[in-house]
Amino acid sequence: MKFSYSFLFFLFIIISVILTEVGCSYWNCINGYEIQMSNHKECKCNNGYVNLDEDMCSPIFKCDHLDSTHRPCDNYSVCTESPVRNGQSKLTCQCSIGYIKQGDSCVPAVCKNIDCVNGKCIENPDNPDRPMCSCNIGKDVNPEDNGACTKDGTTECTLYCQIGDICKQEGPFYTCTIDESGSSSSGGGGGGGDGDGADGNDKDSSSGSFNRNLSVFNTLSIIFLIALFYII
């Protein structure tokens, strides 16, 4: 009985650490990779995939057949049936529920007419009914400028990279990339430089969230086995 409770306890600890510490995890960031801006993390999708939300990537569909209804056709967009003449209907790519068109992109409805300047507007995780600015690396929220990203700041990289990868700034955000110098790291770094947002699906990375999380899982599994040995 003591062994059973101990086993369940350590199993719970392992799962909790993985889900809590890894952030945008393997369980939902499939077909993408994690990026970090100054004050939040999200999944950036590989080529051929689009965001359903900030933590999930899905294959992109063409809105050329009714079978594609409600399928993702762009970031935060789905194929939507629209009536036309003679009782016919066709599919067009429209923003998902809860999102609105702003420029060429779909943004959360709460972000209507909000300009973060050096970042992007997102839903406040503590209050989804209120917007907040997620700033590019090198910038920070300026309370004296309506919360826009107009204040210089420094952000440390907190991404968990697999062995052989390093955390590196790519444009306005941090991501894990192959360490070409031969040294290995699992995160860290400073902040600097300006960018124009974290949009775009231009990275097809084989060292995505699965490998990073697998590395964390392997480490925790070793700790678990050592602890289990002492319990027995």
Query: Does residue 145 register a pLDDT over 50?
Result: yes
Least confident of 26-40, 47-61, 132-146: 26-40
Indicate whether 55 pLDDT > 70: yes
Name the region of 129 (left: φ>0; alpha: ψ -120 to 50; beta: rest): alpha
User: Do 205 and 33 form a contact (C-beta atoms < 8 A)?
Assistant: yes
* Structural domain boundaries in the chain: 2-231
Q: Is a pLDDT exceeding 60 seen at residue 33?
A: yes
What is the mean predicted confidence (pLDDT) over 73-85? 92
pLDDT greater than 50 at residue 140: yes
C-beta of residue 57 within 8 angstroms of C-beta of residue 43: yes
Rounded Cα gap, residues 96 and 108, in angstroms: 9
Residue found under tokens 């300006």: 194
pLDDT for the residue numbered 206? 41
Output the furthest CA–CA distance in the chain (Å, rounded). 76
**pLDDT for position 23:** 45
pLDDT at 190: 47
Q: How far is CA 100 from the centre of its chain?
A: 20
**205: alpha, beta or left? (left if phi > 0; alpha if psi -120 to 50):** beta
- Per-residue confidence at 218, pLDDT binned at 50, 70, 90? low
Residue 20 phi/psi, 5-degree rounding, is -85, -45
Mean confidence (pLDDT) of the chain: 80
167-216: per-residue pLDDT in tens? 999 999 999 999 988 665 555 544 454 444 454 444 544 444 444 445 54
> What is residue 82's predicted lDDT score, i.e. its pLDDT?
87
The CATH fold of domain 2-231: Plasmodium vivax P25 fold (2.90.20)
> 77 falls in which pLDDT band (50, 70, 90)?
very high
